[in-house]
Structure 1
Amino acid sequence: MAAPAAQAPKRAASEGGAAAPDQHGAGTEVRRAVKVLLFMAAIALPWLVLHRAVAPGAFLVRAGGAISPWRLTGNDVDLDSEDVRLERVLSAAAMANNTVILTTLNKAWSEPGSVVDVFLESFRIGESTRELLDHLVIVSLDMAAHARCKQIHRHCFALVTDGVDFSGQKNFMTDGYLKMMWRRIDFLRQVLEKGYSFIFTDTDIVWFRNPVPHFYPDGDFQIACDRFNGNPDDLGNYPNGGFTYVRSTMETIEFYKFWYAARENHPGMHDQDVLNFIKRDPFVTELGVRIKFLSTELFGGLCEPSRNMSRVCTMHANCCVGLSRKVSDLNAMLQDWRFFMSLPLKDKQTVSWSVPYNCSLQKLER
């Protein structure tokens, strides 16, 4: 029985011969292509909407078991733990010997024209200090400070503390001030545990020279002073926790743990006063932590200004209460420095600080 004639052209086509176009088949292919395109669009559109909805800055970071209200940007746009984020920023900022420079910042001190701007400007105009900015990590204590840090600096870390608002001005010895100081001590212990040594500096300190060459080679824990009696080994010196150099060792890690725990035995006291209690404790002696006190000639402040502008490394707006007064006197220090640097060498010895100015002697408190 002969095959139906309609099958002949298809057979010929399958055997390599040319066949006339099949209009019905072409329409089917077009409809199939349209369906595929519509299906792909249905998948892509929600993805695009979602992508735009969670653009950089919209992730929430979980910390302490709760969702924090922080909106992080840049390198922090992820759900990594605080520990992972901290390791990342420390690694990026560390010097060759695994040392970082750290400062903490809240909203009040991060406003344009406020403390942080004066702080960063001092690095730019100091002797051999500009390159130190590559090793500075600004630790933000609230969302506004972190956002400002991202605008003005390379290395920023958001230190989230559930249930605590560190954004406002924290006057000396208020409850907010004490919580902020103790949070700082605990954070610095974390840095040491990660194997990083650090130079911690308050943001109301201006840097004029690189301090690293002036640290003691045999000191594990080195701290600036409100008052310095001339002997770097004398535990009778009155320390100021606003500037410290600490090596990462097992001894210093245990020292910071002990220091933080000691707050429970001294309620209502800040970290400096508690340090004065524990520095002679038998446990600290047994640990063998080598404590050194830094001279105010090199690391001065309003409590005891450096007497030698040819050697000074840092100046601190300590012994001064009130943000506006601090900013005013910090700016005056920058002006004094610029004037000093403009003079010929023979005239530099005659220059002294114009501060305290707004932080007058009658207002000096600590």
Structure 2
Amino acid sequence: MTSTNGEASSMGYEFARVSIKDEKSKPPMIYSDGVFGGRDVMKIVLLVATVTLSCLLFYKSANNPLNMMLFPSNTDCYSSKIINDTFLETVPRKEPVSKLEKVLMNAAMEDNTVIITALNQAWTEPNSTFDVFREGFKAGIGTERLLKHVIAICLDNKAYDQCLRVHPHCYLINATDSDQLSGPNRFMTPGYLKLIWRRMDLLRQVIGLGYNFIFTDADILWLGDPFPRFFPDADFQITCDDYNGKPSDKKNHVNSRFTYVKASNKTSKFYKYWIRSSKKYPGKHDQDVFNLIKSDHHVEKLGIKMRFFDTVYFGGFCRPSRDINVVNTMHANCCIGLDNKVNNLKAALEDWKRYVSLNTTVSETKWNIPPRCGY
């Protein structure tokens, strides 16, 4: 055994009781079997140490391969076992996550962003809204890859069962009044309002779990990747039925069916306040309540930075995008009745597919949908 400076190491020689400077300066050790020199004893000690260390390594690896990394200085088999048990007992055990958090974890992008839509039985029927919604992602430019991050929030058991047949990320809101929520629920009916505020409370929970989200109604076609259009420094971003050209102006006529929200303490408090305000303004949906509170003192104090989307990029039947070359979404707003919405969404999707087939930009944009359908 040699050291880095070329001199003999003293460890083995201490055991043999032989001087480092002169191996013959001390008498040999005498055992009952005869006489052994210092070098002989040294060899025996090294041999025993080697066998013991090999046994120790084998024992540690058989019980826990990580022990050698966690406790490299420990050479006693028994004490290593005790320390390892203690270590395992002191590691905090994470509580089982909720069903909602499991769905969020499975669907989230790397930055903890998910895309959320809400469904009931009527919207999940074959060839209805959800089918057209998913078809839009597949036909859009740069959007098909985003479909795997979509979570469908189901408001009744039949919607949930149907969702699971066609989509990987479905979450059922347990509701005692699911029968009332499962039908078409025309605009502003009691069932519609319950659906809206149930959905809002779910979004509040998502923020509380630390997830950013894009909420999108299922009657919205995703025709282009919207992320490049988002304002990087905003907390809350929302589409408009009518856009006045100013992205920070709260006087824009908003449509809350497409929103991008970053999870933070500010947005969590904002959603809680928004939901509480529904009690102050009974009989109103989330969009009306938003318009009533967006400029009040409490919201201003929270410091929420809001931005409003241009209808050129985020269009709808109220005001279709005037440039199909740059459109990201098309919403079936200003359109009453489920069948009416579905038929006109299909027409808009066909317009889009024809545009894509041209493989070039076009100078004129025409949508084959009636203005303010159903009014």
Superposition TM-score tier, normalisation by shorter sequence: 0.7 to 0.9
Match of 1:113 among 122, 127, 142: 127
| Residues 236-292 of structure 1, C-alpha deviations (whole Å, 9 max, x = no match) | 011111100000000000000000000111011111000000001100000001111
Give the equivalent residue in structure 2 for 1:161. Answer: 175
- TM-score, structure 1 length as denominator? 0.75
Residue of structure 2 aligned with 1:102, choices 109, 116, 124: 116
Alignment: residue pair count: 280
Of the two, which has the highest radius of gyration? 2
Alpha-carbon distance, 1:214 to partner = 0.7
Q: Please report how far the alpha carbon of residue 153 of structure 1 lies from its aligned counterpart in structure 2 after TM superposition.
A: 0.4
Q: How many Å apart are 1:307 and its aligned residue? A: 0.6
Counterpart in 2 of 1:35?
none
Following TM superposition, by how much is the alpha carbon of 1:363 offset from its aligned partner in structure 2, in angstroms? Answer: 3.2
Q: 2:259: which partner in 1?
A: 244
Residue aligned with 1:245, SS: strand
Partners of 1:362 and 1:247 lie apart in 2 by 33
Q: Deviations over 1:115-145 (max 9, x none)?
A: 1100000001110111101111011110111
User: 1:49-88, aligned counterparts within 5 Å?
Assistant: 84-88=98-102
- Identify which of 299, 310, 313 aligns with 2:314: 299
Distance in 2 (alpha carbons) for counterparts of 1:133 and 1:210? 11
Aligned residues of 2:335 and 2:372 also touching (Cα < 8 A): no
- Residue equivalent to 2:224: 209
- 2:171 matched to 1:171? no
Q: Secondary structure at the match of 2:259?
A: strand
**3-state SS of 2:98 partner:** helix
Other-structure match for 1:128: 142
Which residue is 1:349 aligned to? 363
Cα contact 1:340–1:351 (8 A) shared by 2? no
Change (3 A) 1:264 1:148: same
Structure 1 residue aligned with 2:15: none
Deviations 1:185-241 (A, max 9, x none): 111000000000000000000000110111001110101111111111111011111
User: Does structure 2 conserve the Cα–Cα contact (< 8 Å) formed by 1:297 and 1:311?
Assistant: yes
SS in structure 1 of the partner of residue 141 of structure 2: coil
CA distance in 2, matches of 1:164, 1:130: 31
- Which residue of structure 2 aligns with residue 361 of structure 1? 372
Tell me the residue number matched to 1:141: 155
Give the match's secondary structure for 2:151.
Answer: strand
Q: Report the Cα offset of residue 362 of structure 1.
A: 6.7
Q: Which amino acid aligns with 2:217?
A: D
CA contact (8 A) 2:337 2:374 kept: no
How far apart are the structure 2 equivalents of 1:212 and 1:293?
14
Unaligned runs of 5+ in 2: 1-94
SS across alignment from 2:363: helix
AA at the equivalent of 1:315: M
**Which runs of 5 or more structure 1 residues have no equivalent in the other structure?**
1-80
**Alpha-carbon distance in 2 for matches of 1:87, 1:362:** 39
Match of residue 30 from structure 1: none
The alignment partner of 1:203 has SS state of coil
CA distance in 2, matches of 1:345, 1:108: 37
Between the aligned partners of 1:304 and 1:211, the Cα distance in structure 2 is 18
Q: 2:201 is matched with which residue: 186, 202, 226?
A: 186
Q: Counterparts of 1:320 and 1:109 in 2: how far apart (Å)?
A: 15
Partners in 2 of 1:213 and 1:223 — Cα distance?
Answer: 15
Report the residue type matching 1:97 in the other structure: D
How far residue 349 of structure 1 moved from its aligned partner, in angstroms, is 2.0
Large movers: runs of 4+ above 3 Å: 360-364
Matched, 1:235 2:250: yes
Query: Are the structure 2 counterparts of residues 351 and 343 from structure 1 closer, same or farther at C-alpha, using a change threshold of 3 Å?
Result: farther
TM-score by length of structure 2 reads: 0.73
Q: Say if 1:210 and 1:82 are closer, same or farther in 2 by CA, change over 3 A.
A: farther
Percent identity, aligned pairs only?
A: 48
How far did 1:164 drift? 4.3
2:166 to 134, 152, 156: 152
Q: Secondary structure at the match of 1:345?
A: coil
AA aligned opposite 1:341: V
Computed over aligned residues only, the root mean square deviation of the Cα atoms, in angstroms, reads 1.5
